Amino acid sequence: MADPMKIRASMSGDKVEVKVLMSHDMETGQRKNSKGETVPAHFIQHVSATHNGKVVLSAQWGPAVSKNPFLSFKFAGGKAGEKVQITWTDNKGEKRSDEATIS
């Protein structure tokens, strides 16, 4: 399984600002290794963020996203002490879910 995501969620006025650093190789399927063989595609396809059981962000990604992607977004309705959960799924079916407390 991939390394844990680094997530920061903090109040910014009346909105919650979330910053996420994900650990993933994000292979495009076009790079070749030292033997000249194509490295198979392996990238995050879907990212979602939930707060109190509601989806506050849903994104479809592809192979053009860089290695160890960074994501930042804001949403309304959160309060300090509540949790935000981030989940990603890649094209090989691997999944990672982590959460952070809003400060």
Is pTM, for the whole model, over 0.95? no
- 50 lies in some domain: yes
Domain assignment present for 60: yes
Let me know if residue 1 belongs to a domain.
no
The CA R_g of the chain, rounded to the nearest whole Å, is 15
Residue 1: the pLDDT is 57
pLDDT-based confidence at residue 51 (cuts at 50, 70, 90): very high
Residue 54 lies in a domain: yes
Per-residue model confidence as pLDDT tens digits over 56-81: 999 999 999 999 999 999 999 999 99
Q: What is the pLDDT of residue 97?
A: 97
Q: Tell me the HSE value of 59 on the side-chain side, using a 13 A CA sphere.
A: 14
* CATH number of the domain encompassing residue 15: 2.60.40.10
Q: Which residue in 36, 37, 49, 98 sits closest to 78, CA to CA?
A: 49
Domain limits for position 52? 6-30+39-101
The domain tally of the chain equals 1
Q: Is residue 22 part of a domain?
A: yes
Tokens of 66: 């860089």
Distance CA 10, CA 92 (A): 32
Tokens for 17, please give them.
């600002």
